[in-house]
Amino acid sequence: MEVIIRPDATAAADLVARMIAGELRNNPRLVLGLATGNTMESVYAQLVWMHRKEGLDFSGCRTFNLDEYVGLSINHANSYRRYMNHHLFLQVNIDLQNTYMPNGMAADLAAECDHYERLIVKHGGIDLQLLGIGQNGHLGFNEPLSALRSRTRVKILSPVTRAQNAPLFSSADLVPHRAITMGVGSILDCRRCVLLATGEEKAAIIAKAVEGPITSMISATALQLHPECALILDEAAGSLLGESAYYRWTFENQPEWEPFRDLTKNGSSAKHQVKKQIVEATSDV
């Protein structure tokens, strides 16, 4: 696991977007794992901007999303299919038939979960998995006590998770109680993982996930077992890490990060630039 601390949330999201773009340029047939949530919106806006201004090509890319609510149709305002269409899929030249998500409306949810796992295998596995982290440390919807070898399945959402997601719904009572999620084991099978976390409210759980013991109570701690995993944080999210000086030294000295080091040295300037990109990228949605 590597931890990279950037000056602000915009610089962190910019780095993640450029990592994804680099992988896609190197492998036009990239199998990309995707996540949803407010944190990811800046990443997707930056990717849309790179598609429009730099010719970033999504035509050969295949995608698999981490999760979907049980009981929400694809046209529901809060479905993750709707989210992905709005923020990325309909803004770039990806073939929608190559964008896969669990079907939360499936009559047989267990069969749907097995089907999703088989689809990932059929496409050769996920090359790069984008991740966020919940307030209780979950990856996807792998709530506390999720087995570290778990596969795609239905999970009951914790009160903490439902409360965290409630502002996105017109009423807290409308937040679904269940979701289909890729399992912790499914995530660990991905060839490379990149987790983005920003904001002071994520600092405590990030410190536990990175520097605490591996435990099924915090599924993000399983990333300590992954051979190629990077956590990209802003200053606020990384503020409680004990080894932050070493993490900064790694970013400044490790050769693989050299292409990214000069992109966001001026945090406020980068923030202004990406805000302009976000407005431009979503203006015709």
* 67 part of the active site: yes
Active site residue 266: no
Alpha helices in the chain (DSSP H): 9-26, 38-54, 80-87, 109-122, 159-165, 184-188, 203-211, 244-253, 267-282
Is residue 156 within 8 Å of 89, Cβ to Cβ?
Answer: no
Active site residue 26: no
Count each helix (H run) and each strand (E run) in the chain, helices first: 9, 10
| Nearest CA-CA partner of 24 in 93, 96, 118 | 93
Q: Which of 101, 98, 70 is nearest to 83 (CA)?
A: 101
Please, what is the angle between helix 38-54 and helix 80-87, to 10°?
Answer: 30
Q: Any catalytic annotation for residue 127?
A: no
Catalytic residue among 123, 136, 211, 280: 136
Catalytic residue among 14, 143, 234, 235: 143
Which of 51, 87, 138, 226 is catalytic? The answer is 138
258/181 Cα distance (integer angstroms):
35
Question: Which is the catalytic residue, given 14, 51, 65, 67?
Answer: 67
- Residue 141 near residue 67, CB atoms below 8 Å: yes
Q: Which residues are catalytic?
A: 67, 136, 138, 143
